[in-house]
Structure 1
Amino acid sequence: MAPLRTALYQGPGGVPRTSEDSLAALARTARRAADAGARLLLASELYLTGYAVGDALPGLAETADGPGAGRVAGIAAENGLAIAYGYPERAGRTLYNSVQLIGPDGSRLANYRKTHLFGDFETDHFTPGDRAVVQADLDGVRVGLLICYDVEFPENVRAHALAGTELLLVPTALMRPYEIVAQTVLPARAWESQLYIAYANRCGREGDFHFTGLSCLAAPDGTVRARAGVADDLVVADMDPDLLKASRAENSYLGDRRPELYTSLL
């Protein structure tokens, strides 16, 4: 099977812009990603609105099929690549911190609501989602979705591995001083659960938050196939199904599990 070339968009950094600015930047970046041969572009957590929006959040949230989704669908179809992006989702009176995956034809493939909320801003404004594993198929690859803090719980990533996820997309707003997550935890998660993890972070300062950057594509052999710096960046690397198959044959973690011993975790 051919590799799935994946682009990670770390930006735009700094003070939150309008959704229009974010969409314009996404359109420019999608063209660059497509020119580099990417079939998938991953943007950061709450990409459409910015993260540090405080009490303005309810007025910025929209439904999963709202105008932002329509604009992203147009960008995806125009450039022939899938796009996953973070946004604040409104469902009735409830707000979720969500990521949506749009296919290269502009169709809506999957929508995931963050299950593990981090910090006062998120717990004050969002309701946690209740579905641990959300997946879609893209070019023959089983793609899964998590958001930021979710990936720091090994149970979440292992659940995806056991459900067949091969490439886990994680839009992120990782802040200083937690660089260890991007530098150490992500490669370990990919290794221990035998899958690829695409991790697209925010960068720069937004209000009281200072984001670390360091977006990466971690492979199941524990290596990092692409790594961004700390400023606006676009990095591209391949998710290789053949390498994943060989790594799973070599690394027997999944097959050697003994679930009957782990019942105390439930």
Structure 2
Amino acid sequence: MRVAVLQMQAVPGDVDANLTRIGDAAARASDMGARVLVAPELALGGYGAGEAMAGLSPGDAPLVQLGAMAEAHDIAIVAGFAEKGEACLHNSAAFVTGGAAPVIYRKSHLYGPYEKDLFDPAAPQTVIVTLGGLKIGMLICYDVEFPENVRRLALAGADLIAVPTALPLGPDAAFIASTMVPVRAFENQLFIAYADNCSTDGRFAYQGMSTIVAPDGTALASAPVEGDALIVADVDPDAFAASRERNSYLRDMDG
């Protein structure tokens, strides 16, 4: 299956503009043969929008529009958004195909005072969807930096983990994108599609370096630090059978 990752500079507080950007990328990714597109963390409202961030319920118009885009371009879309509950706000990601209700994942590990002041953490979840025979799990940004989260999805049978992210530019960020994420893929023998914001939204600057990583830790596709990018790679678990045989961590966990 061909997977696409969108690295984008979201417009803070402008859901319509961000939906248009995601829709354009979905059309291009579909033309390139991709079956799923992963957009960044809080892509719909813009990570840096703060209190101006629109809280959406799964049935609200922007998510319905996202589903319609997915259906129109025959591609599944994973995108981050601020999800409002009855008395809470979650940092969430929706998997939409247009033919069914969105599948929602809620971030369990909030990073820093900005997120902790805005959002409520969810309990760790195992959210996996199946698309064309491929089992796709979801995490959001900081979640993937905790090995327990990735291992939980691997043990549940995930082939690929979609990770919308807003990795901030900083001393450790390049290491996270270029080393930690590939290690997570390697130690669990699965694929990771890591979609970062980029440039700056006026409040935060982002590392970029979105990537699609294989089970052997190699980057199948990578984006630069600066600027919007659409990257694609073919995800074929069978092509990495030899890697799983050599690095049989899941099979050998219990000795």
- What pairs up with 1:27-46 in 2 under 5 angstroms? 27-46=23-42
* Structure 2 residue 120 is the aligned partner of structure 1 residue 127: yes
**How much has 1:161 moved relative to structure 2?**
0.6
**How much has 1:251 moved relative to structure 2?**
1.6
Identify which of 199, 204, 219 aligns with 2:199: 204
* Structure 2 residue 244 is the aligned partner of structure 1 residue 253: no
* Structure 2 residue 71 is the aligned partner of structure 1 residue 77: yes
2-structure distance, mates of 1:172, 1:18: 18
2-structure distance, mates of 1:55, 1:102: 26
In the other structure, the counterpart of 1:94 is: 88
**How much has 1:256 moved relative to structure 2?**
1.2
**How much has 1:17 moved relative to structure 2?**
5.3
**How much has 1:106 moved relative to structure 2?**
3.5
RMSD: 1.4
SS at match of 2:193: strand
Identify which of 161, 185, 189 aligns with 1:190: 185
In the other structure, the counterpart of 2:129 is: 136
2-structure distance, mates of 1:247, 1:134: 25
Change (3 A) 1:160 1:210: same
2-structure distance, mates of 1:142, 1:112: 15
Change (3 A) 1:23 1:109: closer
Cα deviation digits, residues 101-120 of structure 1 (max 9, x gap): 012x4423521000000011
Cα deviation digits, residues 83-142 of structure 1 (max 9, x gap): 000000011121000001012x44235210000000111100111111421111010011
In the other structure, the counterpart of 1:238 is: 234
What percentage of residue pairs aligned between the two structures are identical?
A: 43
2-structure distance, mates of 1:39, 1:27: 14
Q: Which runs of 4+ in 1 moved over 4 A?
A: none
**How much has 1:245 moved relative to structure 2?**
3.5
User: Structure 1 length normalisation: TM-score?
Assistant: 0.91
Task: Mark the runs of 5 or more structure 1 residues left unpaired by the alignment.
Answer: 260-266
2-structure distance, mates of 1:165, 1:236: 19
